[in-house]
Amino acid sequence: MPFERVAAFADIPPGSMIDIEGAGGDETRMVVICNIEGELHAMDGRCPHRDGPLGQGALHGRMVVCPWHAWEFDCVTGRNDHDPSLRQRKYDVRVEGDAVLVDL
Ligand code: FES
């Protein structure tokens, strides 16, 4: 799958996250990109509870907190903090120059 430019690296400083929508095949995908201590991580941005927009929640350390009912997911591993069987899909992300690219 091709990598797509989704943001500028400067738009995601350490300790922050953004949500993006990108076309992955036939569907539009919500993806949250977190900057954890200078390293970018990308995972599915749709909460498995009731489809809340994870990228519009809060980032506490490496945990993304859903804005609707506060379920938490580790942006590095994709795992839910209470139920390890719940795991968000991860996406490959890389930086080229100032561009952030995600493999959707
Ligand atoms: S929709 Fe995310 S916690 Fe309920």
The whole-model pTM stands at 0.92
Nearest Cα neighbor of 20 from 53, 52, 62 is: 53
Ligand 1 pocket, 81 CB below 6 A?
A: no
Domain segments of the chain: what residues? 3-103
Q: Ligand 1 in contact with 94 (CB < 6 A)? A: no
The per-residue pLDDT for 1 is 61
Structure tokens at 104: 């959707």
Containing 47, the helix (H) or strand (E) segment is none
- Tell me the CATH number of domain 3-103, given options 3.90.660.10, 3.40.50.720, 3.30.479.20, 2.102.10.10: 2.102.10.10
Tell the residue nearest (CA) to atom 3 of ligand 1. Answer: 69
Give 34 Cα–ligand 1 centroid separation in angstroms.
18
Q: What are phi and psi of 5, to 5 degrees?
A: -75, 125
- The per-residue pLDDT for range 44-98, each reduced to its tens digit, is 999 999 999 999 999 999 999 999 999 999 999 999 999 989 999 999 999 999 9
